[in-house]
Amino acid sequence: MKHILVPILLFLLFVPVVSAQQNDVVQEYLERLENSRKYLVLVAETMPEDKYGFKATPESMSFAEHLMHIGWAMDWHSQSLMGGREARDWNTDTELKVDKKSKKEMIDTIDRTFNKTMEFISSFDIKRLDERLDYFGADRTKRQILLLLADHITHHRAQMLVYLRLNGLQPPRYVLYQ
């Protein structure tokens, strides 16, 4: 009987710890995402509106396109990929595209998209983080999707920082932990 009780007791002690750790991961991720939002908004505010169409090369995305692409990717990674909502139709949905948006409208759109993404993640059932899905041919967990999303934001924001420099502008001071 003792041989059966010990593993059961260890299991019962271990489960709350793992659950708490996963919840900590989500809380830490949300903190990182909030800092990422603040920094991205600073970057977007630094570029003058008349330079939002700037491209480093003809085939590159413009500054504005990078900004709105970040919003599109946040929406797709969270709401569609993790949440199961049908993806927006890139050809018809203009909410997360540059379209005819002003600088202020784009920044407001990005801010709203961060809010929606953070609300989604904060209410996401952490037990589902181990679920696996196809990510462009790679088998990934939903936890990995969150990491991919953070990398994607950083990737496009970094290009925006280069665009600031190419236009003779000083980027905002780096914000740690984002």
DSSP 3-state of 132: strand
Take residue 77 and report the two structure tokens written for it: 């990674």
Whether residue 47 is contained in a domain is answered as: yes
Whether residue 4 is contained in a domain is answered as: no
Instruction: Please state the pTM of the whole predicted model.
Output: 0.85
Whether residue 102 is contained in a domain is answered as: yes
Whether residue 176 is contained in a domain is answered as: no
Question: What CATH code is carried by the domain that includes residue 143?
Answer: 1.20.120.450
Residue type, 103: K
Whether residue 15 is contained in a domain is answered as: no
Per-residue pLDDT at 17: 46
Picking from 2-11, 54-63, 117-126, which range would have the lowest pLDDT averaged per residue? 2-11
Whether residue 92 is contained in a domain is answered as: yes
Question: Tens digits of per-residue pLDDT, 123-166?
Answer: 999 999 999 999 999 999 999 999 999 999 999 999 999 999 99
State how many domains the chain has: 1
Domain of residue 118: give its range: 31-51+59-166
Q: Which one, of 25, 44, 162, 178, lies nearest residue 102 by Cα?
A: 44
Torsional sign, CA 69, 70, 76, 77? positive
For 80-176, list the strands marked E by DSSP.
132-135, 138-141
**CA 52/CA 24 separation, integer angstroms:** 38
Residue 19 has pLDDT above 50, yes or no: no
pLDDT band at 25 (very low <50, low <70, confident <90, very high): confident
Question: What is the average per-residue pLDDT within 76-90?
Answer: 92
Whether residue 113 is contained in a domain is answered as: yes
